[in-house]
Amino acid sequence: MLDTVSLNKLIAVVHRDGRSFLQYEAESFPWTVAAKSPWVVTLQQLASEEAKAIGKILRFLKRVCHRNLSLGSYSSLFTSWNFVTLESILPRIIQDVKDSIAEVEASLAAIRLEEPRQILEEYLAMKQRHLRTLEELTQPKKATA
């Protein structure tokens, strides 16, 4: 059985990150850059990994609570970010990932049960890895001699 605190914290992560800005951008693909750009490939990979991690949380919730959760729709605020360059959306994606990390860290502080803690710790590690990758994309490329 899952306690109420753990249940609510996991549901909050699913609702927030199941429809994150990264997920929106990966699904909407309204960028002004070639589809095979290394940036696009990287963003698609990060979004895919995030979606799989959210799926893991959903499967856990279904197993222990017998609940099916809906991800809902994306924020209507995201639609103002269509048909823009990747350079312009990367700072917004990075901020969204930072906000998510802060929320997951706060959730971890409140969860005492081992299994939900472990799931969120793995999720947090993934988000931190994604943040490093996204920040590397914003760094200027060094010229090769």
Question: Mind listing the pLDDT tens digit for each residue in 3-44?
Answer: 899 999 999 999 999 999 889 888 876 555 655 677 788 989
Question: Mind listing the pLDDT tens digit for each residue in 73-90?
Answer: 888 888 777 777 777 888
Residue 22 domain flag? yes
Range of the domain at 130: 4-136
Residue 141 domain flag? no
Residue 112 domain flag? yes
Going by C-alpha positions, the residue among 104, 95, 99 that lies closest to residue 122 is 104
* The model's pTM: 0.86
Other Cβ atoms closer than 10 A to 21: 22
Per the structure, the count of domains in the chain is 1
Residue 145 domain flag? no
Residue 66 domain flag? yes
pLDDT score, position 34 = 59
Backbone phi, psi, residue 107, to 5°? -65, -40
Residue 54 exposed, middle or buried by CB count within 10 Å (0-12, 13-18, 19+) = buried
Residue 143 domain flag? no
Please, what sign has the CA dihedral across residues 32, 19, 94, 53?
negative
Tell me the Ramachandran region of residue 66: left when phi exceeds 0, alpha when psi lies from -120 to 50, beta otherwise.
left
CATH assignment of the domain containing 82: 1.20.1260.10
Residue 144 domain flag? no
Residue 142 domain flag? no
